[in-house]
Amino acid sequence: MDAIKETHFHFPKQTGFYKGKVRDVYTIDDKYLAMVVSDRISAFDVVLPEPIPYKGQVLNQIAAKFLHDTSDIVPNWVVTVPDPSVTIGRICEPFKVEMVIRGYLAGHAAREYAAGKRELCGEKLPEGLKENDKLPEPIITPTTKASVGHDEDISKEQILATGIVSPEDYAQLEKYTKALYQRGCEIAAKRGLILVDTKYEFGKADGKIYLIDEIHTPDSSRYFYQEGYEERQRKGEPQKQLSKEFVRKWLIENNFQGKEGQVVPKMTPEIVNSISDRYIELYEQITGETFVKGENKEVLTRVEDAINSALRNL
């Protein structure tokens, strides 16, 4: 099967190109971004050697659905989704913070709590919590957007004191973040899921704030299954997650965690196809819709033609 490992397109009025771990982003006429969500997969900050068929389509279509389903809360960057693996949208100047919101003590927050911290990004945490417990109310724990290295935790007070975001804009970002998370939780609950934590990115264009990038995908969010959540918490058992954790687990079992000297285990066709099947399962569980595979023969031609056609209509 063809999968999108990398792209090397040249579009009319193209003024820039950026290759991320997963996305290839083309700047058009300094007004639009044509984002191709490739089938590359990363884990432990390493892009694995084999692409995963349909993975890009899964992420792009989940993001497109949830951006559409939250457009009454905040305007977003999307102009058109001309292909299952492509989104074209307006260029925004990104805010230099990611708005992370947490409803449960999981992941990074749980590790900090276990280390004895009772404050995260200026937010106080009560005593007596266990990993994966629901928090009294959701907390916003922003991170800086690092151009090099890892993102760092930062508090609202530090953001305002350093002028990274103005007080007026930050107040709006907080309001949007809480409303988006509330909507995300409601959508997840209908699917038998718990939206544990997630992150949102925002940008500005012509003085207006827009929601940018992907939202509520398994790559940007953590989901638990509702069924059995309370019982697992009572027994102190790990929660059943809906995420790409299964990929990391396979790598760890094969002695790879991205450390120096470690070699990525061989990605056989069976392994690649099993990961592809899991991503399709994720799509159907999160959206409640049947996944329709995009034509993946001559997939690069399909994607290029779709972008060219859409650009002619902008």
Positions in the chain short of pLDDT 50: none
Cβ proximity of 87 and 63 under 8 Å = yes
Q: Residue 246: what pLDDT?
A: 86
Q: Residue 1: what pLDDT?
A: 63
Beta strands in the chain (DSSP E): 14-19, 23-28, 32-37, 42-43, 46-47, 78-83, 86-90, 93-94, 97-104, 119-120, 123-124, 134-140, 143-144, 193-205, 208-212, 221-225, 241-242
The label of the residue with tokens 């999981």 reads 106
Q: Residue 240: what pLDDT?
A: 92
The label of the residue with tokens 């995420």 reads 243
Q: Residue 243: what pLDDT?
A: 82
- Counting residues of the chain whose pLDDT is more than 70, the rounded percentage is 98
Cβ proximity of 212 and 89 under 8 Å = yes
- Put simply, whether the predicted model's pTM sits higher than 0.85 gets the answer yes
Nearest alpha-carbon partner for 70 in 254, 258, 205, 198:
198
- Cα(20)–Cα(124) distance, rounded to whole angstroms? 35
Specify the 3-state DSSP secondary structure of 4.
coil
What are the φ/ψ torsions at residue 151 (nearest 5 degrees)? Answer: -65, 150
- Cα(26)–Cα(106) distance, rounded to whole angstroms? 35
Q: Residue 296: what pLDDT?
A: 78
185 residue type, one letter: C
The model's pLDDT over 191-207, given as tens digits with 9 standing for 90+, comes to: 999 999 999 999 999 99
**Which residues have C-beta within 8 Å of that of residue 307, sequence separation ≥ 6?**
9, 11, 26, 34, 36, 82, 83, 86, 88
Q: Residue 70: what pLDDT?
A: 98
